[in-house]
Chain A
Amino acid sequence: MAVDTQPAPAQLPGAAADSRPPDHRQPLWRRIAKRVLGYGVLAFFALVFIFPFMLAIITSFKTRPDAAQTPLNLIPDPATLSAFEAMGQVNLPRSAYVSIVVTLSVTLGRLFLDSLAGYALSRLDFPGRKIVFAVIVATLAIPGIVLAIPRFLVLGQLGMLNSFSGLIVPLAVDAFGIFLMKQFFDSIPKEMEEAARIDGATIFQTYSRVVLPLAAPALIALTILSFQGSWNEFLHPLIAAPSDASLRTLPVTLALLRGLMGEGTDFPLLMGASILTTVPVAIVFFTFQRYFVQGVAASGVKG
């Protein structure tokens, strides 16, 4: 104990810890104790991060009195599906439909338009290219609320308030997607495109048959980010469809549900709806987790 007075932090450091030989000077019991402590800390954090989800799932299967009297009980007594049955009455199926339509349209729009623009900015030579790119990057820093009022007015002028197009179009191109695609195209060698061009392919053929298949990793990353981003988006659908209840996305409906109920809140219903809202993002996320992690990580290390 004399040398190393801080056993807990001693677990922490070490990017190269794995490459070092095990420290045989330490007695066995201390190595075991350290390992147990390490797992204990990890398990604690894991529990902290997972607990709210568990609580929501458990609560959604409870009856309202049960949820009110024994909120901490881990087993619903009696277990019931009444919260899920009640969802039909609060317009959740319709909101789910709106969310699906909006999210799929936005994701397809971004995949198509972001990759076109990214390719143009990466490969095609035109006057003003640098300025266009700089403006696109600059828009990344704009807070959503800054865009909210003018967008509300623009959509009003175009007659797109309270319509699917108003929910979809403003989100169908995003600066981050263009940036991501441009960076990726920059990293692909030009030789294959030049070969295709020499073989007589048009630029568009080269783009669709040679470049896009190569860009699959970036397109998958963009799909996940767009899906997650537009599915979870709250502020835009809140302002774009202010007065049409049949055009509310799931997050908007959820937020309004809680407002309507006040303190007499039906927590099983709210928790069930929250879980169902999160399920689609969870599925997409688990399916493509690897790409998601790479995308986020790369933005930090390269940035």
Chain B
Amino acid sequence: MTSSGTTTPPATADRAPAPAPRGSARSRLAAWVDRNIVAVFITPAVVFIAVMMVFPVGFTLYMSLHDWVGAAGAAPEFIGLDNFRRAFTEDPRFWAAARRTFAFTAMAVAVETVLGVAIAVLFNREFMGKGLLRTIFLFPMIATPVAIALVWRLMYQPTLGVLNQLLEFLRLPPSLWVADTSLVLPALALVDIWEWTPLITLITLAGLSVLPEEPFEAAAIDGASRWQTFWKITLPMLRPVIIVAVTFRLIDALKTFDIIFVITQGGPGFASETLNLYVYSTSFQYQNLGYAASLLVVFFAIVVGSAVLLLKFRRADDAA
């Protein structure tokens, strides 16, 4: 691979000012690097991305068309779209997992958005202790998710957990929390909400800080109340930023793994088994690699589809 026109000065011209005694070997290396600058700079990244990202995706597509059980040692057998037909028509566990994935994501992202924006607006002023409060708010999103999951598991514990003690204190009946099949998804969504609301807050705050002041001045002159100003001016101007934040969270919430894996492992029964966990056990527990790959393709399509849809929504918004 030859380098481009930007490397025109002859290599010899560079060497003269270098006084190092080992200059010749080093400068030959330097000249070689310069001649192959593009290859040197980009090859490592391209190779990594190709082997660790692009190939896996391609291989997943290939596997999804094959019947292949890893542990059996037999070669993959081409079966066309049969894995997909099986997933959509014969696998209630897949449908249930897909429903749970959407339910978990919808609950988590909806609450995070409302709460995150509200906190950001509340924060967007000067007050004592702002720095400390902001640090506290950011802590959940940087802490290790597995550690967070363990702490919440302790809090949800029916006999030892803080939450049941709190209910007792409020004279309310105790709850089984994550051990209750109908409560487990909202309870897990609550952990996600606790962990990720600050991200929405952070992005919204950045959006608030770059809003122009004129519309607010105009509104003040027209005698708009603060409530009106918020709904009619702040929120519409923030919309593009909020949509980006929601897109980030949506993609991430669909992919949630650590929290669920550590707190419930998909249980009780299958009550909190999302697509991610179902695929994990299909591939690493049952070694059903071909079928797992087809589920992954569907899952990937859902994630990308949701993101594209939301971003389209944002573009349409900009155009209007």
Contacts and interface: CB of A to CB of B under 8 A. Distances in A.
Given A49-B136, A143-B255, A289-B138, A121 B42 contact: yes
A91 interface: no
B61 to A, nearest CB: 10
B181 interface: no
A92 to B, nearest CB: 12
Interface residues on B, range: 35 or more
A246 interface: no
Contact of A52 (B48, B155, B257): B155
B13 to A, nearest CB: 6
Interface string A264-303: 0001001101110110011001100100110011111101
Interface stretch (B79-87, B88-96, B226-234): B226-234
Given A17-B226, A153-B59, A204-B34, A147 B53 contact: yes
A188 interface: no
B14 A201 contact: yes
Given A274-B151, A300-B248, A204 B5 contact: no
Chain B interface main SS type: helix
Contact of A146 (B1, B284, B300): B300
Contacts of A117: 41-42, 44-46
Contacts of A175: 49, 53
A55 B154 contact: yes
Contact of B6 (A119, A203, A254, A296): A203
Contacts of B60: 146, 149-150
A144 B56 contact: no
B37 interface: yes
Given A19-B213, A154-B51, A125 B33 contact: no
A172 interface: yes
A50 B213 CA distance: 34
B47 to A, nearest CB: 9
Interface string B285-317: 000010011001001100110010000000000
A146 B154 contact: no
B110 to A, nearest CB: 18
Nearest to B31: A202
Contacts of B149: 255
Contacts of A19: 213, 216-217
A38 interface: yes
B46 A12 contact: no
A120 interface: yes
A48 interface: yes
19 contacts: A13-B227, A15-B208, A18-B125, A45-B137, A67-B160, A132-B42, A148-B283, A149-B289, A150-B60, A173-B45, A200-B14, A200-B16, A202-B14, A232-B145, A235-B257, A250-B144, A278-B143, A281-B142, A285-B139
Interface of B: 1, 3-7, 9, 11, 13-14, 16-17, 30-31, 33-34, 37-38, 40-42, 44-46, 48-49, 51-57, 59-60, 63, 118-119, 121-127, 133-140, 142-155, 160-162, 165, 194, 198-199, 202-203, 205-208, 210-211, 213, 216-217, 220, 225-227, 229-230, 234, 241, 244-245, 248, 251, 254-255, 257-258, 261-262, 265, 276, 279-280, 283-284, 289, 292-293, 296, 299-300, 303-304, 307
